């Protein structure tokens, strides 16, 4: 168990470009979550998958954002036509069942820091 | 929604005790989590409370009062490595966490 891995760690892109981030959850975790965190704020929920099914999307997830988890393992988050307001840390987390069921919470990756210039 | 409130920053001396408070409002409560986050790193799980009372884990303890919508995290015998942001979050709908802004603790010698 190597934890939740995210790639890349940092991404600088020009406004209007598309970017894609990858998340590899803990292998036996069936749930995968994407959050966004800006400076001085707590993480905000974007979307979550149970296995390969995307079961909930926040209204923060505009049409320019799309997430997939095609085989129920790794996930990708794509942002099209990036805007400066998209600059943030994008965090992935995974869990086996709900975070509280086993009392150990959700395991977060180190995130991808996106800077849109 | 994300109706969760935390104070923003505090400074404390090595070896001291600090208490970080968190108040929340939610229509469906499924548990209260505390996470530690060092700058530029992943939030790491500290504790989980679903019933009223105090949960102790080494130097860290967490308390919950569901009727008051209130929790606190107690950090004892502060160490320099405890300098971090402490996030409280409640679980909504069994499928996501709603976080507060976090409380930055700065430990000084």
Torsion, CA B33, CA A73, CA A112, CA A83, rounded to 10 = -110
Question: If chain B, 109 residues long, is cut into consecutive pieces of 10 residues, what is the mean pLDDT of each piece?
Answer: 68 96 85 92 90 93 94 96 95 82 94
Using omega within 30 degrees of 0 as the cis cutoff, is the peptide bond preceding A8 cis? yes
Chain B residues inside the 8 Å CB shell of A113: 40
A:B CB pairs within 8 Å: 69
For A59-113, what is each residue's pLDDT tens digit?
888 999 999 999 889 999 999 999 999 999 999 999 887 655 555 678 999 999 9
User: Is A106–B41 a contact, with Cβ atoms under 8 angstroms apart?
Assistant: no
- In angstroms, the separation between the Cα of residue B103 and the nearest Cα of chain A is 9
Confidence at A45, pLDDT banded by 50, 70, 90: very high
**Per-residue exposure over B29-67, b if at least 16 CB sit within 10 Å of its own CB, e if not:** ebbbbbbbbeeeebbebbbbbeeeeebeeeebbbbbeee
Chain A residues inside the 8 Å CB shell of B40: 110, 113
Strands A10-13 and A112-116: parallel
């Amino acid at each position: 168990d190597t934890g939740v891995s995210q790639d890349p760690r940092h991404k600088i892109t020009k406004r209007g470009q598309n970017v894609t981030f990858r998340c590899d959850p803990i292998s036996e975790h069936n749930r995968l979550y994407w959050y966004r965190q800006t400076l001085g704020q707590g993480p905000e929920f974007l979307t979550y998958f149970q296995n390969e099914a995307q079961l909930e999307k926040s209204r923060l997830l505009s049409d320019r954002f799309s997430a997939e988890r095609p085989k129920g393992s790794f996930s990708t988050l794509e942002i099209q036509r990036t805007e400066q307001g998209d600059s943030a840390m994008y965090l992935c987390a995974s869990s086996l069942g709900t975070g509280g069921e086993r009392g150990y919470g959700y395991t977060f990756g180190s995130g991808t820091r996106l800077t849109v210039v | 929604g994300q109706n969760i409130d935390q104070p923003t920053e505090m400074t404390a001396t090595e070896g001291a005790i600090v208490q970080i408070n968190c108040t929340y409002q939610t229509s469906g409560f499924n548990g209260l989590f505390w996470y530690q986050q060092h700058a530029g790193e992943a939030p790491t799980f500290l504790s989980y409370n679903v019933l009223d009372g105090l949960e102790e884990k080494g130097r860290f303890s967490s308390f919950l009062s569901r009727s008051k919508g209130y929790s606190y995290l107690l950090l004892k015998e502060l160490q320099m490595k405890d300098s971090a942001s402490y996030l409280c979050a409640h679980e909504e709908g069994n499928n996501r966490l709603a976080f507060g802004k976090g409380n930055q603790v700065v430990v000084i010698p």
